[in-house]
């Protein structure tokens, strides 16, 4: 390498203290640079210079912006390609690639969007729906397939611990896997919804917390999770379960059977044991039996129709 100032080819590498100002912020660090032996000026060395500027960007992003790792993990959370994700946040794919490789600092617009997506996941819905015309039909369908809007809405709802959620934050992966556990073999929806109630309330009785964070309400058929229709439909749409309605003598029977493998890792051992205990307890109960059984619970008797059921009643549970 040749010194631009004096033309000498004799150079050496030494640690150099960098003192950058990026977007008005001071960034200081030490890294190797190349110098001229004769005149001691900095000599251009693409590899070392690149490393130094990457280091500066990395430090700035860590301190004031957003790290490349957070951007990648945000995109991977939704299983999106760089192509689709860049379209969603509104930048060129090249720009996103450069952010993800740590070659540049996200500009303020993208920074705000990316940070909102991390802190308020339902921003994703707003972004997609308000820019719908930017996507082709195929792209839009792909996005809708990958992103679970319902789960995002649930996730976004601010968590306020209360006696109605068992002082536990809603965890959709636990909800889904609990459903898979109870639908291990074909089960009537009515029975499954009751079993969920028993699992959450029994766990609360033993620990003072619910498993899923679901709220339950009283309807004719007993206690059911709030938004249960939405939850079951979501499971069916995402191919976690088979959901079939069968007709017999003018009666509808709603059957559920799991399609996806159960991921027991989302539960603690105690949570999983509680689910198994409930499942075992009601093994030989048909839908009517469990409805009847749940109607004799204080949780049911002392709650008004269509009102939420307090987890306080867990202590009076009959199982
Ligand atoms: Zn020189």
3-state secondary structure of 194: helix
Answer yes or no: is pLDDT of 154 > 70.
no
pLDDT, residue 157, reads 66
pLDDT, residue 146, reads 87
Q: How far is the CA of 12 from the centre of ligand 1 (A)?
A: 11
Strand ranges for the chain from DSSP E: 11-22, 25-36, 42-43, 187-188, 216-219, 222-225, 241-248, 251-258
Q: How far is the CA of 35 from the centre of ligand 1 (A)?
A: 8
Q: How far is the CA of 14 from the centre of ligand 1 (A)?
A: 15
Q: How far is the CA of 121 from the centre of ligand 1 (A)?
A: 54
Q: How far is the CA of 57 from the centre of ligand 1 (A)?
A: 28
pLDDT, residue 150, reads 75
pLDDT band at 153 (very low <50, low <70, confident <90, very high): confident
Answer yes or no: is pLDDT of 83 > 70.
yes
Give domain limits for the chain: 11-63, 68-147, 161-316
Which has more pLDDT, 317 or 153?
Answer: 317
Q: How far is the CA of 32 from the centre of ligand 1 (A)?
A: 17
Q: How confident is the model over 256-285, as a mean pLDDT?
A: 96
The mean predicted confidence, pLDDT, of the chain is 93
Q: Give per-residue pLDDT as tens, 30-47.
A: 999 999 999 999 999 999
Task: Give the containing element (helix H, strand E) for 46.
Answer: helix 46-63
- Specify whether the CB–CB gap between 165 and 215 falls below 8 A: yes
3-state secondary structure of 27: strand
Q: How far is the CA of 186 from the centre of ligand 1 (A)?
A: 80
pLDDT, residue 156, reads 65
């Amino acid at each position: 390498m040749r010194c631009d100032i004096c033309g000498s080819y004799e150079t050496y590498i030494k640690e150099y203290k960098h003192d950058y100002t990026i977007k008005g912020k001071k960034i200081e660090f030490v890294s190797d640079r190349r110098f001229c032996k004769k005149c001691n000026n900095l000599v251009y060395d693409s590899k070392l210079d690149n490393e130094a500027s990457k280091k500066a960007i990395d430090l700035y992003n860590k301190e004031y912006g957003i790290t490349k790792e957070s951007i990648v993990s945000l995109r991977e959370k939704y299983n999106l390609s760089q192509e689709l994700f860049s379209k969603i946040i509104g930048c060129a794919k090249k720009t996103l690639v450069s952010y993800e490789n740590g070659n540049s600092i996200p500009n303020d617009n993208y920074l705000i969007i990316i940070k909102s997506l991390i802190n308020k996941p339902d921003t994703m819905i707003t972004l997609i729906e308000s820019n719908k015309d930017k996507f082709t039909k195929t792209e839009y369908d792909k996005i809708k397939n990958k992103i679970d809007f319902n789960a995002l809405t649930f996730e976004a709802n601010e968590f306020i611990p209360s006696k109605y959620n068992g002082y536990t934050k809603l965890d959709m992966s636990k909800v889904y896997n609990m459903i898979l556990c109870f639908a291990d073999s074909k089960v009537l929806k009515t029975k499954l919804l009751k079993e969920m109630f028993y699992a959450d309330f029994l766990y609360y009785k033993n620990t003072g917390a619910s498993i899923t964070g679901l709220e339950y309400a009283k309807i004719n058929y007993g206690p059911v999770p709030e938004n249960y229709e939405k939850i079951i439909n979501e499971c069916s749409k995402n191919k976690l379960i088979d959901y079939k309605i069968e007709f017999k003598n003018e009666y509808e029977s709603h059957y559920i059977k799991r399609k996806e493998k159960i991921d027991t890792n989302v539960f603690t051992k105690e949570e999983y044991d509680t689910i198994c205990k409930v499942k075992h307890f009601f093994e030989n109960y048909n839908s009517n039996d469990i409805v009847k059984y749940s109607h004799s619970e204080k949780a049911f008797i002392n709650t008004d129709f269509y009102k939420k059921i307090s987890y306080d009643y867990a202590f009076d549970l009959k199982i």
